[in-house]
Chains A and B, each alone.
Chain A
């Protein structure tokens, strides 16, 4: 392998190691499932590798990568590829037996939220995750989703409204977070 290519690969490897945790968390919220999240991030990073020269030179490489991941996520829905949107019974996210302990309560919250997210249409889910997890501005979210700011506002508002309307989550929100 040539020296230049080797240096580029090294740079790319550092990027992967550094961004993996954050991208995986975002992907987890988008897909609702560990393996689907890993698959989404890995395939996104493979695409990043193909365009690495261009991306490494870009001012906002993270924004670029985020957009690629959102595109990949949207594409999977369009093509109706297999994706596990809701936590499965054996995932441990939604305990079958209720418990009053804090840890279980937290698991309830997570389970309720992931289940609620899974019920949102993909664009609303993307808007909610980018706005409230990635903490992006409406403009940044619009860039990541490749749509207008108006569409972001609309999708995020509808998403939040639907989340609030889901009894389990509404209760969680009403009583505040339990840390």
Chain B
């Protein structure tokens, strides 16, 4: 076969393949786009993304051990973060003022379980502005056995660990459970450019076991709601419910809340009330 014939044949084959593909593609029945179903699935995935981060965090919590408890608190804050909030109100400029290397801590829930006091605290690490700040922040977190939830370049690859530059302009947070006589446990974490983007009755919520083992029912509920939400009602599977007042967290526009079910029941739903 001559060269040009071969070329023509080759071209024809590719054109034919294109036409055959187009014809075969027409075979599929194009119904109405399942918009509502996609929306529901998307929202579920969004919620699950939190849960995925949580699951990853539980592993990290093992290496975190009890070291988080002795972390120095920035700005003299003693738990609710207000003292530190005052120090950040006047446009902080240095990394230390912005809490890039030492987090702000705010207690968002507390109680007693099996006779031992527990509390849930959220640590907020300020957004680094340069690569150097980001690198030092990652190192500071590593000293506490923590790693930030840096998202990969691909939107569908969540929970991957990229390079420190991906932290620039993003606030990181870790939600930690402190239960007397037990090692501290990181419940969930996240890294976001605009943390707490919720309005009205929007809510992001995760339910997880309270105790250290995975056998415990998902009795502990941690979530965030819009800054305007007055109260949150957590409903349990046995029909009972718990009402809590969500708390302001420095570094977030949203408020956070924690509910804990009694030993024999677990999370069913949560909603903003009042």
Taking beta carbons and an 8 Å cutoff, which residues of A are in contact with B? Answer: 1-5, 9, 12-13, 16-17, 20-21, 24-26, 28-29, 34, 37-38, 42-43, 45-52, 54-55, 64, 67-68, 71-72, 93, 106, 109-110, 113-114, 117, 128-129, 132-133, 135, 160, 163-164, 169, 172-173, 176-177
Contacts and interface: CB of A to CB of B under 8 A. Distances in A.
Interface string B72-103: 00000000000000000000000000000000
Interface residues of B, number: 43
B170 to A, nearest CB: 13
B156 A47 contact: yes
Most B Cβ at <10 Å: residue of A67, A110, A135: A110
Contact of B18 (A28, A52, A64, A133): A133
B35 A17 contact: yes
Contacts of B46: 49-50
B155 A28 contact: no
Interface stretch (B22-30, B54-62, B117-125, B234-242): B22-30
25 contacts: A1-B202, A2-B199, A4-B199, A12-B39, A16-B33, A17-B33, A24-B28, A25-B26, A42-B37, A45-B38, A45-B42, A46-B44, A48-B155, A50-B158, A68-B154, A110-B20, A114-B27, A117-B24, A132-B18, A160-B14, A163-B17, A169-B20, A173-B20, A177-B16, A177-B19
Nearest to B194: A53
Given A5-B202, A42-B34, A160-B14, A51 B156 contact: yes
Contacts of B23: 106, 109-110, 113, 177
A133 B35 CA distance: 25
Contacts of B44: 46
Interface string B118-145: 0000000000000000000000000000
Nearest to B19: A177
A114 to B, nearest CB: 6
Shortest Cβ-Cβ A-B pairs, 4 listed: A2-B199, A49-B42, A51-B155, A20-B33
Contacts of B21: 29, 113, 128-129, 132-133
B268 interface: no
Contact of B43 (A25, A45, A49): A49
Contacts of B197: 4
A55 B33 CA distance: 19
B112 interface: no
A105 to B, nearest CB: 11
Contacts of A72: 156
Nearest to A169: B20
Contact of B28 (A28, A46, A50): A28
Nearest to B25: A25
A37 B14 CA distance: 24
A42 B41 CA distance: 8
B198 A132 contact: no
Given A109-B20, A173-B13, 7 more contacts: A1-B199, A2-B199, A2-B202, A4-B197, A47-B156, A49-B38, A110-B27
Interface in B224-255: 226
Interface in B148-205: 154-158, 197-202
Nearest to A52: B42
B45 interface: yes
Most A Cβ at <10 Å: residue of B13, B28, B45: B28
A68 B22 CA distance: 22
Contacts of A128: 17, 21
